[in-house]
Amino acid sequence: MKIVVAGKGGVGKTLVAGTLARIYARMGFNVLAVDADPAVNLAYALGVPPEVSSKIVPIAENSSLIEERTGAKPGSAFGLLFSLTPTVDDIADKYGVIGPDGVKLLVMGTIRSGGSGCACPANSLLSALIRHITLMRGDMVIMDTEAGLEHLGRATAKGFDVLICVVEPNAPSIETGIKIRRLAGEINIKAVIFVGNKVSGASDEEYIRGELSKYSLSLFHTIPFDQSVIMAGRARIAPIDYSQSSPAIQAIESLANKLIKEFASGVKPLGGSEKSQIV
Ligand SMILES: Nc1ncnc2c1ncn2[C@@H]1O[C@H](COP(=O)(O)OP(=O)(O)OP(=O)(O)O)[C@@H](O)[C@H]1O
Ligand SMILES: [Mg+2]
């Protein structure tokens, strides 16, 4: 499965993306976690130690790599000749770092797709990289994105099987979610599902269901508001490492199972032997 996680700012995208990645890795899948948010927070939710994550250079900012693969310096003027089909198949292995449970983290940085898509060397490389990633067979790919929808262009999200739209029990996050769904439809993402996060009780869940039903949409899953997620943030420990049995982590585990059942039935984990721990 190739999963992209999107939603309004602060709804819990990174918690969901990072925790899903860890859970799938524990199930035995080869997991590639892609951080497409320039704020670079996915490493934390995955449990990659700060001394490792602080040294990662996002692909979008790796000028020498961009020049090496496209033949042009980043920021080159439009019209300069550069490769639109750069070689990318070795990048995830070369620039990814291995975190707990063997999850591979690739920090991409943002693709500025704006309008028809910016024709610059950096975007050429990143688009080719995402295309390659969505075509990788047998791997679980989970991409965390920047808040909002500006980034959700063809270049970024096309080719993903499932878009998880995270919403909270409030109107603005649901409105953003509806807009994201519309955009996702335009770029042919196969499925868009809504996940309610920070849900504090039946009335919160009812509220989200009610708002979505106005658009004939349903709520796929809910994750409760969970104080241990807050405490994990204070302790700077990945939520799944802080408390695996906490309600939010348990709910994300059941989301992981539901996603497989719904969108990848018959898919079996491939990995196992070559998985390594933190490097
Ligand atoms: N289920 C939850 N219960 C309690 N707190 C939560 C829950 N989910 C997320 N949070 C808290 O909400 C904040 C935002 O979470 P997170 O960083 O995952 O959201 P995000 O959508 O990735 O944000 P951003 O748009 O900034 O990337 C964090 O402080 C996190 O600890
Ligand atoms: Mg985030």
Residue 268 lies in a domain: no
Q: 176: closest CA among 202, 213, 184? A: 184
Residue 270 lies in a domain: no
User: How far, in Å, CA of 103 to CA of 89, rounded?
Assistant: 18
3-state secondary structure of 195: strand
Residue 77 lies in a domain: yes
Residue 88 lies in a domain: yes
- Domain count within the chain: 1
Distance 116 CA to ligand 2 centre (A): 26
Q: Return the biggest CA–CA distance within the chain.
A: 57
Q: 10: closest CA among 215, 233, 220? A: 233
Residue 98 bridge partners (DSSP): 104
Distance 266 CA to ligand 1 centre (A): 32
Residue 91 lies in a domain: yes
Tell me the two tokens of residue 186. Answer: 């335009």
Distance 146 CA to ligand 2 centre (A): 6
Mutate to test the pocket of ligand 1, among 5, 13, 15 (most ligand atoms within 8 A of CB): 15
What pLDDT does residue 273 have?
43
Nearest CA to ligand 1 atom 15: 12
Distance 15 CA to ligand 1 centre (A): 6
User: How far, in Å, CA of 187 to CA of 210, rounded?
Assistant: 27
| CATH assignment at residue 113 | 3.40.50.300
Q: Give ion ligand 2 contacts, CB < 5 A.
A: 13-14, 41
Residue 237 lies in a domain: yes
Answer whether 236 contacts ligand 1 (Cβ < 6 A): no
Nearest CA to ligand 1 atom 19: 12
Structural domain boundaries, residue 199 = 2-263
Distances (CA, A) of 263 to 5, 59, 130: 15, 30, 20
What pLDDT does residue 139 have?
87
What ligand 1 atom has the least distance to the C-alpha of 248?
Answer: 1
Answer whether 14 contacts ligand 1 (Cβ < 6 A): yes
Distance 197 CA to ligand 1 centre (A): 9
Yes or no: say if 199 and 43 are a contact pair by the CB < 8 Å rule.
Answer: no
User: How far, in Å, CA of 85 to CA of 97, rounded?
Assistant: 25
Answer whether 38 contacts ligand 1 (Cβ < 6 A): no
Residue 274 lies in a domain: no
Answer whether 28 contacts ligand 1 (Cβ < 6 A): no
Answer whether 75 contacts ligand 1 (Cβ < 6 A): no
Residue 276 lies in a domain: no
Yes or no: say if 17 and 33 are a contact pair by the CB < 8 Å rule.
Answer: yes
pLDDT in tens, the chain (279 residues): 999 999 999 999 999 999 999 999 999 999 999 998 878 899 999 999 999 999 999 998 888 998 888 887 766 655 556 666 788 889 989 999 999 999 999 999 876 654 444 567 888 888 888 888 888 877 899 999 988 776 666 556 678 899 999 999 999 999 999 999 988 888 778 899 999 999 999 999 999 999 999 999 999 999 999 999 999 999 999 999 999 999 999 999 999 999 999 998 666 665 544 443 333
